[in-house]
C-alpha cells in the first residue's frame, strides 16, 4: 500500500500541464477573460492583466568561492537508462511523487512525468497507470487521471492495484465534490479491502452529504476498536485520524485539533493535515500556535500563506518579508500562466492583499475543479467580502443539493 494517495493531494503544483501555450505577442485582450455581467464587477477582469513585473534581480559576480549557494535535492536516479523493468520505473516514479508530496515541491512531478512519458505504451502496467493517475491528479488533470484509473478497474488484475486505483479514484471524486461517484468507489473498496481505510473513505463521503454526526461516532468507535485490537497499522490510522479530523472540523467540534495532531505525530510530512490544522487554528484566532505549526514551511505555498496571515495577526515583523516573498512567487506563477495554487493565491489576495474582487475570481476558478470544504469556504468568504450574493446563492444551492452542512460556513445552511 503506497501512502501517496493517503490524503487528498494538496501539492497541486505550479506545474500544471496546461501551461499557457505561447501566444505570439500576448495582447491585453488575451490576458483577461470576457467581462462578467454587472457593471461594477465588469472591470474585475481587467485587473487580471499581466502580472506586475519589477526589474529582475541584478546579475552579481561578487559571490565567494566557499559560499554554499544551494543544497541539491537527493535525486537517486532520474536517468531513464538505469531503469529496465516496469517495477524499477514504478519505484522511481513513486519516489518522485512522494518527494513532491512530502516536500510540496512540484519539480519532482516533472521528473516523474518525464519517466512515464519515455516509457513505451505497450509496456505500461496497471501499477504504472495508477501512479500516472496520481501524477495527473497532482497536476489537476482530473479527467486524465480518471481515464487511467478506469482502465485499471475495467480489467481483471492484481487486487492491490485495484485497491489502489479505487482509493485514488474515491479521493479524486471527493476532491471534486462528485460524491455519488466517490461513494460507489468507496463501496467497491469495502468489498475488496474491508477495514479502516474503506470505512474512512465511506465516512468522508457520507459526512459531506448530510450524515456527519452519525458517521463521526461510527468511525471513531471503529478506530478505537481497531487500535484496541492492535489492527490499526500506521497507514490505516493516518486515514482514519485524518478523516475524523475533517469530519470533526465540519461539525465544528474541538476534537478536530487532536485528530490532526495525531496524524502529524505519525507523519510530520503530511502537509495536507498541517495546512488544515493551521487553518483551523487561524479560524480560532490562535495565531501564535498557527505560527508555531507552520514554522519551517515557508517553501510550501499553502502553509506559507497561512503563516503570513498568522504572522500578520500577531503583529510580527517577519510578516513583511514572507509576504514579499509570496508576492514574488505568485507573480512568477501568473507569468507562467497556469494557476496553479489558485486556492492559495485567492487566500493570499483575500486575507493579505485585501483584494476581495481578485480573490473571488481565483476562488471561483479554483472551485470549478476542487470543492473541498476549504475551497467552498474560501469562495463564500470572498463572495461575502465583495457583496456578490449571486455566488453565495449558487454555492448554497449546490450545498443544499448534496445536503452538505459545515460549521466553517454557517452562512449557508441548507
Partner 1 sequence: MKHALQSWLLLMMAFGSATVAAHKASDSFIYLDQSNPDATTLRVDLALRDLALVLPLDGNNDQQLTGAEVRAARPAITGLVAEGVTILSDQGNCALAGQQWGLSRHSDGPYAAARYGIQCPDGAKPTGITYDLLFDVDPLHRGLVQWTTTEGESLAVLGPDSNRLDLTASQPSMLGTFGTFLYEGVIHLLIGLDHILFLLVLILPATFVRQQQLKLSRTTPTVSFSTRLWELAGIVSAFTVAHSITLALAALDIVRLPIAWVEMVIALSIAIAALNVFWPILGKKTWKLAFGFGLIHGFGFASVLGDLTSGVSQTVTALAGFNIGVELGQLGLLVIFFPLLFWLGRYRLYARAAVPAMIVAVTGISLFWAVERAGAL
At its nearest, how many Å lie between partner 1 and the CB of residue 323?
12
Identify which of residues 100 and 374 has a Cβ nearer to partner 1 in the complex.
100
State in angstroms the smallest separation of the CB of 325 from partner 1: 6
Among 146, 208, 259, 329, binds partner 1 (CB under 8 A): 329
**Shortest Cβ 112–partner 1 spacing (Å):** 10
d(CA 96, CA 112): 6
CA distance 89 to 403: 43
Q: Which of 94, 106, 161 is nearest to 132 (CA)?
A: 94
Which part of the chain contacts partner 1 (CB under 8 A), choosing from 47-55, 218-226, 231-239, 258-266? 47-55
d(CA 25, CA 202): 50
Query: Which residues, 6 or more positions from 287, have their beta carbon under 8 angstroms from its beta carbon?
Result: 281, 310, 311, 313, 314
Task: List binders of partner 1 among 17-36 (CB under 8 A).
Answer: 17, 19-29, 35
Please give the residues from 250 up to 269 whose contact with partner 1 meets the rule CB under 8 A.
Answer: 268-269
Give least dist CB 334 to partner 1, A: 9
Of 30 and 158, which CB lies nearer to partner 1 in the complex structure? 30
> Burial code of 105-119, b = ≥16 C-beta within 10 A, e = fewer?
bbbbbbbbbebbeeb
Cβ proximity of 310 and 282 under 8 Å: yes
In residues, how long is the chain? 414
Alpha helices in 104-125 (DSSP H): 107-118
- Residues 59-118 interacting with partner 1 (rule: CB under 8 A): 59-75, 78, 98-99, 102-107, 109-111, 113-114, 117
Select from 51-59, 207-215, 284-292, 365-373 the region that touches partner 1 (CB under 8 A): 51-59
Map 312-370 to HEC letters: HHCCCCHHHHHHHHHHHHHHHHHHHCCCCCHHHHHHHHHHCCCCHHHHHHHHHHHHHHC
Q: Which is nearer to partner 1, 114 or 220 (CB)?
A: 114
List phi, psi (to 5°) of 232: -75, 95
Nearer to partner 1, 3 or 187 (CB): 3
Q: In angstroms, what is the minimal distance from the CB of 343 to partner 1?
A: 15
CA distance 387 to 383: 6
Task: Count the site residues for partner 1 by CB under 8 A.
Answer: 96
Site for partner 1 in 393-412 (CB under 8 A): none
Question: Minimum distance between the CB of residue 99 and partner 1, rounded to whole angstroms?
Answer: 6
Stretch that binds partner 1, among 41-49, 165-173, 175-183, 249-257 (CB under 8 A): 41-49
Q: Which of residues 139-168 bind partner 1 (CB under 8 A)?
A: 139
User: At its nearest, how many Å lie between partner 1 and the CB of residue 79?
Assistant: 9
Amino acid at each position: 500500500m503506497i501512502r501517496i494517495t493517503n490524503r487528498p493531494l494538496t501539492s497541486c503544483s505550479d506545474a500544471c500541464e496546461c501551461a499557457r501555450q505561447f501566444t505570439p505577442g500576448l495582447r491585453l485582450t488575451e490576458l483577461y477573460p470576457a467581462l462578467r455581467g454587472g457593471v461594477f464587477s465588469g472591470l474585475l477582469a481587467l485587473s487580471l492583466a499581466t502580472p506586475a513585473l519589477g526589474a529582475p534581480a541584478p546579475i552579481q559576480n561578487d559571490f565567494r568561492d566557499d559560499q554554499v549557494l544551494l543544497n541539491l535535492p537527493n535525486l537517486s536516479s532520474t536517468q531513464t537508462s538505469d531503469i529496465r523493468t516496469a517495477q524499477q520505473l514504478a519505484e522511481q516514479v513513486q519516489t518522485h511523487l512522494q518527494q513532491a508530496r512530502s516536500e510540496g515541491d512540484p519539480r519532482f512531478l516533472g521528473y516523474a512525468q518525464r519517466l512515464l512519458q519515455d516509457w513505451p505504451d505497450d509496456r505500461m502496467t496497471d501499477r504504472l497507470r495508477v501512479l500516472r493517475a496520481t501524477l495527473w491528479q497532482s497536476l489537476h488533470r482530473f479527467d486524465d487521471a480518471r481515464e487511467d484509473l478506469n482502465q485499471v478497474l475495467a480489467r481483471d488484475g492484481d487486487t492491490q492495484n485495484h485497491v489502489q486505483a479505487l482509493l485514488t479514484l474515491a479521493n479524486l471524486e471527493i476532491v471534486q465534490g462528485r460524491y455519488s461517484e466517490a461513494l460507489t468507489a468507496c463501496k467497491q473498496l469495502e468489498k475488496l479491502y474491508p477495514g479502516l481505510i474503506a470505512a474512512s473513505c465511506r465516512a468522508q463521503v457520507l459526512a459531506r452529504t448530510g450524515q456527519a454526526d452519525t458517521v463521526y461516532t461510527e468511525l471513531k468507535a471503529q478506530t478505537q476498536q481497531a487500535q484496541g485490537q492492535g489492527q490499526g497499522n500506521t497507514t490505516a490510522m493516518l486515514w482514519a485520524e485524518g478523516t475524523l479530523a475533517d469530519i470533526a472540523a465540519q461539525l465544528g467540534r474541538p476534537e478536530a485539533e487532536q485528530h490532526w495532531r495525531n496524524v502529524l505525530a505519525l507523519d510530520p510530512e503530511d502537509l495536507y493535515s498541517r495546512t488544515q490544522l493551521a487553518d483551523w487554528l487561524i479560524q480560532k484566532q490562535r495565531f501564535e500556535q498557527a505560527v508555531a505549526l507552520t514554522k519551517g514551511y515557508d517553501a510550501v505555498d499553502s502553509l506559507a500563506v497561512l503563516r503570513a496571515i498568522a504572522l500578520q495577526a500577531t503583529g510580527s515583523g517577519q510578516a513583511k518579508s514572507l509576504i514579499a516573498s509570496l508576492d514574488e512567487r505568485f507573480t512568477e506563477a501568473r507569468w507562467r500562466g497556469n494557476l496553479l495554487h489558485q486556492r492559495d493565491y485567492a487566500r493570499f489576495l483575500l486575507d493579505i492583499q485585501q483584494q476581495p474582487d481578485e480573490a473571488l475570481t481565483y476562488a471561483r476558478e479554483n472551485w470549478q475543479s476542487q470543492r473541498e470544504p476549504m475551497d467552498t469556504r474560501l469562495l463564500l468568504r470572498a463572495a461575502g467580502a465583495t457583496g456578490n450574493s449571486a455566488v453565495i446563492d449558487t454555492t448554497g444551492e449546490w450545498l443544499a443539493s448534496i445536503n452538505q452542512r459545515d460549521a466553517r460556513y454557517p452562512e449557508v445552511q441548507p
